[in-house]
């Protein structure tokens, strides 16, 4: 990968040679949440004395081991790079569940016509927890359907495409008011198991919950029990708690995929043929921002991730 600026060296992790480590100032990394590989060993990091900035190709950075990275190094997620495909995927999940397309198709196969009414999205309330780039884009499409949109973010400040934006302190109210709830929030120590049994009970009995953020934002057991006990409640997940290693079959602790009120996809909402080029463009744009000392997108607040890996390990042990 070419350098950015006359005094800066940009490297992809897999392109770095041992002899070059002490000259690296800017690094581009690609860390998958389901990857079992250590993307950069701690002994290598100790000799990268000049490293100042790490740009992830992935939007989420919860898979990065921050303990290995010196505090002086700035780290950014690839914010906004996957918004368009994730929005389309989210909309597809909402429509599938709102219209019960899977259930009606299955009944037709067995000769049964299901004439029950479905959920009309027009006039309904969509609550989006995580009113960043992805959340704003989802809200914009929802407005085309005539939905009322409420966003939840950390600041409570207004955000584009939302009729109303509130802080996290108003999360309970948003869950109560919303007919459809979308989670597009990053996984941090503050959002780990954010949606637990008590939060699920606040939602409408016939509500729809979509998660395109990270699996551990929801309490796994609480969600499964809620779906069992509330057959009118529906849920769509593109993100999970447990990812298979090489040659392993996909499975979770609870048999979500056997439930009639559940829809799952294998963490592919952002995967389209154009994705690699789009993601790289967004990442390089942010690197240029760093070089030119402009405000960065997706700058990580390390304190939000300290201890997160221990929380995740504890939840699956």
Q: Are residues 65 and 168 in the same domain?
A: no
Total of domains in the chain = 2
Q: Are residues 59 and 87 in the same domain?
A: no
42 phi, psi to nearest 5 deg: -65, -30
Q: What CATH number is attached to the domain comprising 148?
A: 3.40.50.720
Q: What is the pLDDT of residues 140-171, one digit of tens each?
A: 999 999 999 999 999 999 999 999 999 999 99
Q: Are residues 194 and 68 in the same domain?
A: no
Angle (CA) 201 204 209, round 5°: 85
- CA–CA distance from 182 to each of 16, 76, 302 (Å)? 39, 24, 25
The first and second tokens of residue 265, run together, are 């996809």
Q: Are residues 134 and 259 in the same domain?
A: yes
Q: Are residues 305 and 283 in the same domain?
A: yes
Q: Are residues 290 and 183 in the same domain?
A: no
Q: Are residues 47 and 171 in the same domain?
A: no
Predicted local distance difference test score (pLDDT) of residue 162: 98
Q: Which helix (H) or strand (E) holds 235?
A: strand 234-237
Q: Whole domain around residue 103: which residue ranges?
A: 83-264
Q: Are residues 140 and 243 in the same domain?
A: yes
Within a domain: 5: no
Q: Residues in the chain with pLDDT < 70? A: 1-24, 31-49, 316-317
Within a domain: 284: yes
The first and second tokens of residue 281, run together, are 């463009």
Q: Are residues 73 and 88 in the same domain?
A: no
Q: Are residues 249 and 278 in the same domain?
A: no
Q: Are residues 254 and 296 in the same domain?
A: no
Return the half-sphere exposure (C-beta side, CA atoms, 13 A cut-off) of residue 100.
Answer: 21
> 3-state class of 72 per DSSP?
coil
| C-alpha dihedral (210, 130, 123, 89), degrees to nearest 10 | -40
């Amino acid at each position: 990968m070419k350098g950015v600026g006359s005094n800066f060296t940009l490297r992809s992790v897999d392109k770095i040679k041992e002899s070059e480590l002490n000259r690296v100032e800017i690094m581009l990394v690609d860390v998958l949440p389901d990857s079992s590989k250590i993307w950069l060993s701690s002994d290598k990091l100790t000799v990268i004395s000049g490293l100042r900035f790490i740009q992830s190709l992935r939007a989420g950075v919860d898979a990065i081991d921050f303990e290995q990275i010196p505090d002086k190094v700035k780290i950014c997620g690839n914010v906004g790079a996957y918004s368009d495909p994730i929005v389309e995927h989210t909309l597809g999940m909402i429509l599938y569940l709102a219209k019960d397309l899977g259930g009606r198709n299955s009944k037709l196969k067995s000769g049964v016509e299901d004439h029950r009414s479905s959920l009309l999205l027009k006039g309904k309330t969509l609550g989006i927890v995580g009113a960043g780039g992805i959340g704003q884009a989802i809200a914009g499409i929802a407005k085309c359907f005539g939905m009322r949109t409420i966003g939840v973010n950390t600041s409570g400040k207004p955000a584009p495409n939302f009729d109303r934006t509130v802080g996290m302190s108003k999360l309970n109210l948003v869950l109560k008011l919303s007919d459809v709830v979308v989670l597009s929030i990053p996984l941090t120590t503050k959002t780990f198991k954010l949606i637990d049994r008590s939060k699920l009970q606040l939602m409408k009995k016939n509500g729809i919950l979509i998660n395109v953020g990270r699996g551990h934002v929801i309490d796994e057991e609480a969600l499964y029990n809620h779906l069992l006990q509330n057959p009118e409640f529906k849920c769509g997940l593109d993100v999970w708690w447990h990812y298979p290693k090489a040659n392993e079959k996909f499975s979770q602790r609870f048999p979500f995929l056997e439930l009639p009120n559940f829809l799952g996809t294998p963490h592919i909402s952002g995967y389209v043929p154009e994705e690699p080029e789009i993601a790289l463009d967004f990442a390089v744009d942010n690197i240029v921002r760093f070089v030119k000392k402009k405000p960065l997108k997706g700058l990580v607040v390390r304190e939000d991730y300290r201890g997160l890996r221990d929380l995740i390990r504890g939840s699956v042990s």
